[in-house]
Chains A and B, each alone.
Chain A
Amino acid sequence: MQKLLLLGDEAVAQGAIDAGLSGIYGYPGTPSTEIMEYVQRSKEAAERNIKRKWSANEKTAMEAALGLAYAGKRSMVCMKHVGLNVASDPFMNAAITGVNGGLIVAVADDPSMHSSQNEQDSRFYGKFALVPVLEPGNQQEAYDMAYKGFELSEKYRIPVMLRLTTRLSHSRAGVKRFSVKEQNKLILPEDPKQFVLLPSVARVRYKHLLANQPNFGEESDGSGFNKYYDGEDKSLGIIACGIAYNYLMENYPGRNINHPVLKLSQYPIPKKMIDRMTNENKEILVLEDGAPFVEEMLKGFQEKGTPVRGRLSGDIPRDGELNPNIVGKALGIEQKIGLPVPEVVKNRPPGMCKGCGHIDVFNALIEALGEKLEGRVFSDIGCYTLGALPPFNAINSCVDMGASVTMAIGAADAGLFPSMAVIGDSTFTHSGITGLLDAVIKNSPITLIISDNLTTGMTGGQESAATGRLQSICEGLGIDPVHLRKIEPLKKYHDKNVKVLKEELDYHGVSVILAERECIQTTARKHKEEAKKQQVATNQSKRVV
């Protein structure tokens, strides 16, 4: 079979489809978005009627995925690392309930924070929940692990985490496929109480989870995803996790590495292989993308036993993603470098697109607040976070999905008036609604702008759950219709918009301003599609003639 050229994310998606996936759930977030998008585009997924719509947030996605697995089907949920914080409640408890059909939780971490507010390492969550974690090192493994991860999940009736990092998620390589499996039939759990986590049931389920830990460890030792390569030079043993293995090998052309190497891609850590590593080698170097997860475990608090080097010892920088040069340096291998970057080269940070509606929102907000602009605009996660940069310098926070609304409430409680929040439409339906309900209940003097571009813009224009619903959501939450205002963020309405904003900033209660204008990237895409359709129509009419 010819290889497919796939991103790591896409390889996960194809692996899941081929393994008999029945449904995938998720919320867009770089670098995980392409997993769902691939399934949405896939003709096979359409033919096989795989459920594949975005959810309102990662928590609802995780729960829906668990429900599908409850009914015996193979299920996947995908998210970025910080999305797992949102989904952590069902994630932690799904480890206790276990599953019926296979469930894979695909989480993409973002070391170096290319597109994120932190670089938390999801392997900690895997260990926290006591579930197996798979960490592919290349695109083929991403495919294989998605495919075989379901077998592992169903063998122990346990959710399995598949941990990716940006560099693998967004790197393409050839991938070979396995044979395509049928989907599972709908079968309810044998034990009708399995998912009822009353304390009496939960205690039993938790003991069951604990009893399975040695089995998960043995799986890691024998699965084939973890490999021990012996080497003659035992002055140093190397543990390379996931993609770090590639950076290690890059430093040894022709693979002639003399040290013992443990390629680590499945957790909990394989006890036998780790014992061999520490017993046979004088010193251990741990290479891992993300936090010093394995290093810390091996080192322990008292640092007895075989010395361990890595991010904690300073051999590898404590933060940021790995690359071949960092790994090479830690091994004492001389690294080449090209020419320095000339001084004339300036930074080119991302910015809002020319003609973007958020720009008009910020311009109106800046004028309406005037001298009071500084320090009182709480914002959120999305393209409009770029409002923090020049020329706007307009926002003072970006913490987590939905935090603009609730931080504005807290600051208003402290006496800040006006206290403002700016949030996007999709972020609002993700996690802003409950915060706004708080504001209504407390009658907090805050002004919220929902900058509605009718899409999930920053991740590439996915459907937004908010589209067409914002007014009725706000009314339903109990926003006073007098203080539920609409503006159209266009330059020509600037003065009018400033006036509306000023009126609401003066109001000592909850006001919401809906600023609606379609994302210009979406508009451009629609134009392109329209042109394509016309082109096809013209070609067809030519043929008829």
Chain B
Amino acid sequence: MKNDIILAGVGGQGILTIAATIGMAVLHQDLNLKQAEVHGMSQRGGAVQSHLRISDAEIASDLIPLGNATLILSVEPMESLRYLPYLSDQGWLVTNSNPMVNIPDYPDVTKLKEEIEKISHSLILDAKKIAKKAGSTRSSNIVMLGAASPFIDIPVESFEFGIGKIFGRKGEEMVNLNLEAFRAGRAFVLENRIN
């Protein structure tokens, strides 16, 4: 078993929370994990990515080699495209459709969607809408984790264990909100998945 995941987004959008949650889920499964993240200046609204590698064998590199990612999980549409050189020919791209416009030359969203749809295994979903329906507009990132979860070889219980661990410090209510968000994202993809 080997999953190489690129997490993509903009500094402040919560990709490190996604990474930490997957990390907890991986520990629950007693698998090997390496996860490289970006700290420092880029976190101020710049493009950020995290390389997350899961395997039952020992993992050598902290960075995923080009053309090897089994999944690009992005919380922002333009950012999902930035890491395409990493995607393997069988890999999936799963992205949120809501743009984060913090640069003057942000491209036309329909053009971005066209590019995303050109990828043979891609899914684009409105995580904000799904999060709102699930009860928390601020849980878009966890909706995206739910949406990507069918493409990661970890059982649902382990993801939910991870959410409990990561949000546990913030109280039971936060755990439940994020569990709902996770389940809503996952259900949306399972219902709409095109294989």
Please indicate whether A and B come from the same complex rather than being unrelated chains: yes
Task: Report A's interface with B, CB cutoff 8 A.
Answer: 3, 5, 7, 30-31, 33-34, 114-115, 167-168, 170-174, 243, 246-250, 323-325, 328, 335-342, 344-353, 383, 386, 390, 458-460, 532, 535-536, 539
Are A170 and B88 also in contact (CB < 8 A) when A348-B103, A350-B46 are?
A: no
B-side contacts of A341, CB under 8 Å: 81-85
- Chain B nearest CB from A166 CB (Å) reads 9
User: A539 CA to B41 CA in the complex, in Å?
Assistant: 37
- Is B33 close to A, CB under 8 A? yes
Taking A247-B60, A335-B67 as given, write out 19 further A-B residue pairs in contact, using a Cβ cutoff of 8 Å, ordered by the A residue number: A31-B40, A114-B38, A115-B39, A115-B42, A167-B62, A170-B37, A171-B51, A173-B62, A248-B60, A249-B60, A338-B69, A338-B85, A340-B85, A341-B81, A348-B10, A348-B47, A349-B46, A350-B11, A350-B45
User: A305 CA to B148 CA in the complex, in Å?
Assistant: 54
Q: Is the CB of B102 within 8 A of A337?
A: no
Q: Is the CB of A174 within 8 A of B61?
A: no
Q: Is the CB of A338 within 8 A of B38?
A: no
- Chain A nearest CB from B114 CB (Å) reads 8
- Number of A-B residue pairs, CB cutoff 8 Å, is 165
Q: Main SS of the interface on chain A?
A: loop
Q: Is the CB of A338 within 8 A of B60?
A: no
User: Of B105-113, B124-132, B151-159, B186-194, which binds chain A?
Assistant: B105-113
B-side contacts of A250, CB under 8 Å: 60-61, 65
User: A460 CA to B74 CA in the complex, in Å?
Assistant: 24
Query: Could you say which of B36, B66, B112 contacts A170, with CB atoms under 8 Å apart?
Result: B36
Are A30 and B171 also in contact (CB < 8 A) when A340-B85, A383-B44 are?
A: no
User: A390 CA to B87 CA in the complex, in Å?
Assistant: 32
Q: Is the CB of A247 within 8 A of B84?
A: no
Q: Is the CB of A174 within 8 A of B32?
A: yes
Task: Report B's interface with A, CB cutoff 8 A.
Answer: 10-11, 23-24, 27, 32-47, 51, 59-63, 65-69, 78-79, 81-89, 91, 102-108, 111-112, 115, 119, 170-171, 173
21 A–B contacts, CB within 8 A, in A order:
A30-B40, A34-B39, A114-B42, A170-B38, A171-B36, A171-B37, A243-B62, A249-B61, A250-B61, A328-B65, A336-B67, A338-B86, A338-B87, A341-B84, A342-B115, A344-B112, A348-B10, A348-B45, A350-B41, A458-B44, A459-B40
Query: Could you say which of A34, A325, A353, A460 contacts B66, with CB atoms under 8 Å apart?
Result: A325
A-side contacts of B88, CB under 8 Å: 336, 338
User: A326 CA to B128 CA in the complex, in Å?
Assistant: 39
A-side contacts of B69, CB under 8 Å: 338
The residue on B at minimum CB distance from A248 is B60
The residue on A at minimum CB distance from B108 is A344
A-side contacts of B106, CB under 8 Å: 346
- Chain A nearest CB from B115 CB (Å) reads 5
Are A324 and B45 also in contact (CB < 8 A) when A338-B88, A345-B78, A350-B11 are?
A: no
Q: Is the CB of B41 within 8 A of A171?
A: no
Query: Could you say which of A344, A348, A532 contacts B170, with CB atoms under 8 Å apart?
Result: A532
The residue on A at minimum CB distance from B80 is A345
A-side contacts of B39, CB under 8 Å: 30-31, 33-34, 115, 170, 460
- Chain A nearest CB from B69 CB (Å) reads 7
Are A336 and B65 also in contact (CB < 8 A) when A351-B102, A353-B45 are?
A: yes
The residue on B at minimum CB distance from A139 is B34
Query: Could you say which of B33, B68, B91, B119 contacts A173, with CB atoms under 8 Å apart?
Result: B33
A-side contacts of B46, CB under 8 Å: 348-351
- Chain A nearest CB from B107 CB (Å) reads 5
Query: Could you say which of A3, A249, A338, A351 contacts B84, with CB atoms under 8 Å apart?
Result: A338
Q: Is the CB of A336 within 8 A of B68?
A: yes
| Max count, chain A CB within 10 A of own CB: residue among B27, B40, B104, B119 | B40
Q: Which A-B residue pairs are the 10 nearest by beta carbons?
A: A336-B67, A115-B40, A350-B46, A30-B40, A249-B60, A250-B61, A171-B36, A171-B62, A338-B87, A350-B44
